[in-house]
Amino acid sequence: MFDYMEINYFFIFWLGACLGSFANVIILRYPAGQSLIPNSACVSCHKPVAWYDNIPLISYFVLRGKCRSCQAPFSLRYVAVEYIMALLFLVTYIQYGNSWLTVELLILIFGLVTASFIDLDHMILPDVITLTGLSLGLLGAAINPERPFWDGFAGFVFGGGVLWLVAYVYYVFTGREGLGGGDIKLLAWLGAILGWKSIPFIILVSSILGSVVGLTISFRNPDKGQSKMQTMIPFGPFIALAAVMYLLGLKSVGLWYIDLFFPSLD
């Protein structure tokens, strides 16, 4: 027999998979200005996908990754997004349990995964995700008894302000925009949820990850007519990854970092 916690784990995992399926719809349709309401259809033959062929995590493998009607292959990324969302939901629930904070973090995870894939495809972080998340983050800081309002508000100001300052200084010295407004709003949202102490860790780790990946891409695939150092990559996914690392295991490292360099602020 399943016990209470196992049922909870299954429900949270399945909830994450279903929301991952919905995230795929947003990732594909929102940047194209398409409605999110119509049922899914094959991009090759345009025939609607039946409900039994649209079950998260299962239908892709039952159909062997192909459309039932025309046998055109489906992107593996669809099921990858579902698994990523489901796994992150489960790990978050296991770590934080039944709490209002868990609800806020699950909303954050959904937004981070969805926005990251849109940023990878189109180099944008939609305001409908970042500003809505930021508003919910500040609202949660105000009404959630499990975290102090001023910590969330300071995180919002510190997160958005630091990245805005970095972007402004970069523009002054180079004449180019190195960070988009979406990155700034994303970090402000993270600060509002995770508190101001999370910001130095997220900035440091995302910068390291972004630099390593960016340099690797630049030297392996240099663009003709451009300097290797000018290859553009979206920064949002690295911010999101650093945030997930912080809230799912490395928070103690982030707090140690604050104590080491800013002991008077603890």
Residue-wise pLDDT tens digits, 73-84: 888 999 999 999
- 47 and 157 in a single domain? The answer is no
Q: Could you tell me what percent of the chain has a pLDDT over 70?
A: 83
Question: Rounded distance, CA 100 to CA 236, Å?
Answer: 26
Count up the domains in the chain and report the number: 2
pLDDT of residue 74: 83
The rounded percent of the chain whose pLDDT value lies above 90 is: 43
* DSSP string for 150-192: HHHHHHHHHHHHHHHHHHHHHHHHHSS--S-HHHHHHHHHHHH
91 plus 136 within the same structural domain: no
Structural domain includes residue 23: yes
93 and 162 together in one domain: no
Predicted model pTM: 0.86
Q: Which domain holds residue 205?
A: 123-266
- Over residues 256-264, mean pLDDT: 60
57 & 130 share domain: no
Beta bridge partners of 41: 48
Asked if residue 118 is part of any domain, the answer here is no
Q: What is the pLDDT of residue 173?
A: 65
User: Do 174 and 236 sit in the same domain of this protein?
Assistant: yes
Residue 117 belongs to some domain of the structure: no
Question: What residues contact 105, with CB distance under 8 A and at least 6 apart?
Answer: 92, 96, 193, 247
pLDDT in tens, 141-173: 999 998 999 989 999 998 888 777 776 776 666
**Do 132 and 224 belong to one domain?**
yes
Residues 12 and 87 in one domain: yes
Q: Are residues 80 and 159 in the same domain?
A: no
**Domain assignment present for 250:** yes
Provide mean pLDDT across the span 38-47: 76
Alpha helix locations (H) across the chain?
Answer: 4-29, 59-62, 76-96, 100-122, 127-143, 149-174, 181-194, 198-220, 236-245, 251-261
**DSSP-derived 3-state class of residue 73:** strand
Residue 78 and residue 135 in one domain: no
Mark whether 30 and 81 lie in a shared domain. yes
